[in-house]
Structure 1
């Protein structure tokens, strides 16, 4: 998707705020963590600083190159990869963090493949932490419907404010466990 490469090249990515989203809960358990749709790596880098073993995946090669450069500058060991979050072939993780990917796929297409893949990317009992902007059709009812039993349990959905370079947006923070 060269469109995302261009957004990173020209600096117009409104989600690139230079740090993880303030409303995102990054107090995740030890283990292997996947930052899916990692962009230029702010969440993955923060998790690596906290001692987590992190893999970051994004469809933009430009974003991944920036993430790798940031990790190298800090001496952090993060496995950054270019890949399509709708078609990943990776061993399951203990935790997945999605900071803004779900709502993009809902808005632009491909959400069904992504939702089918997520449980396969988590070990049984693995945790999902997901931040989504609600302005683009993501509702609490939608989240509770797609993250329901029998695949998911322990689901919580909380309203949050999502920071963008254009100002705050309404959103949700979802936490769930793979059943």
Structure 2
């Protein structure tokens, strides 16, 4: 998968497995790994743009590539227009994207809780889950998927307040949990 960097564009953290740089810095790329027939893979990209003038547009082009060149020529360009905060906040939310991002933040919170729990700093371990639950709560509204992630984090928050078995800690740091 490739994303062409536009002038003033930002970084592209990839969710899931570690990404491998396959292209020069002006055209970052992430390797998704092999897929079997019919397999689907969700990808979440985070783009950071600098502050901009209201009305100015930014764009990013995303394309796919594979060993057999089956996707050659496939690309999609996504555009954003700078707007005042109130206009931005008034836009309808993309709940599918919200759920995907919330799941990534929840997985990171679990990973961040492991070390302090192992060291006996249970309050810090629990705080990681609590902070992410609070962050998601701010935009969750009544969305059942987001509310479920919040409930899971709240339940896990209590678990991190005591020593967690090593097998559970290992599971929390596994890429499969994200």
Question: TM-score, normalising length from structure 2?
Answer: 0.32
The one of the two structures with greater contact order (alpha-carbon pairs below 8 A, sep at least 6) is 1
Larger Rg: 2
Identify the structure with the greater strand proportion: 1
